Amino acid sequence: MTSMHCRVATTQRELDDALRVRWAVFGGELRLIPGKAPPSRREVSCFDTLETTVHLVVYADREPVATLRMLMTSPEVALATGGRLGIELEQKLDLSGLGGPGMVFAETARFCVLERWRHSEAVAHLQAGIYAESRGRGVTHWIAAANLDTDSWEDASLIARVAAHRGWVSPRWRVKVSEPSESPVLPSSPFYTPMERERAGQGNLGGLRMPRAPSLFARKMGARFIAEPLYDASFRRFTLPLLAALDEIPASTLERFRALDGIVRRAG
């Protein structure tokens, strides 16, 4: 029987496991990263080695199968960019109006699970792990951008309309895209079919599909969307920015977390 657990990466080997899983998913399985594959087969960002960055890795026995990165507020990055939080999304979104007494933000990103583990307990372990680690660090809110599985502005805009129809848009927070990237004129990865777009044009949004990532964040983590779709040129996909309050995570999800044995482990 496979034993699964989530660890905070505190060693070079564990960080390496996270970066290799990221490449396997984004560069290999999903082919989202353009250009020639790097010789090391790691997906690496300048944010990965900051002292304020936390990497979580889920292991099935000894095999790394899922990972997630959390960026805490970085004074170093904020000083260099003129931002307030010093997180990556602040380079694309105007977050100046976001905040309030007692609110502590962290950005969650690079959420990925190897294909054969995508419908396993790995997802729950990863979510439970980031929740436990965030609580331990005093985080009250997560900021993220959910992958919409399309490079089509038309479909990304329709996904945002469907999210609003389902009541998943924040009634309190709304931020603007500060530096929008240009999406492809001729998209190569549509999400909706022509028939689905026709139904939407008739005002029938009720039965339309939602991509897995935004649906998962909204239903399981209580996330609400706070901006228009944002094109991520590095992964060639639209995303939908969101905010999730840890105090508003559904009770059913927290109960599921409590059922997991040994939520987060650190290297000893």
- Kindly tell me if the per-residue pLDDT of 268 is higher than 50: no
pLDDT (tens digit, 9 = 90+) per residue, 2-36?
A: 899 999 999 999 999 999 999 999 999 999 988 88
- The radius of gyration of the chain from alpha carbons, rounded to an integer in Å, stands at 18
pLDDT tens for each residue of 244-256: 999 999 999 999 9
| Res 73 pLDDT > 60 | yes
Domain that holds residue 176: 4-266
Per-residue pLDDT at 12: 96
Determine how many CB atoms are found less than 10 A away from the CB of residue 40.
Answer: 11
d(Cα 180, Cα 233) in Å, to the nearest integer?
A: 10
Confidence band of 262 (pLDDT split at 50, 70, 90): low
6-29 core/surface letters (b: 16 or more CB in 10 A; e: else): bbbbeeeebbebbbbbbbbbbbbe
Tokens 């239903």 identify what position? 219
Q: Report the domain count for the chain.
A: 1
Taking only the tens place, the pLDDT of each residue in 195-239 is 999 999 999 999 999 999 999 999 999 999 999 999 999 999 999
SS3 243: strand
Section 79-107 average pLDDT = 94
pTM score of the predicted model:
0.94
Whichever domain contains 195, its CATH number is: 3.40.630.30
Structure confidence at residue 36 (pLDDT): 85
Burial of 155 (0-12, 13-18, 19+ CB in 10 A): buried
The pLDDT-based confidence of 182 (bands split at 50, 70, 90) is confident
Q: How far apart are the first and last CA of the chain?
A: 24
Question: In the beta sheet, which residues pair with residue 244?
Answer: 142
- DSSP bridge partners of 154: none
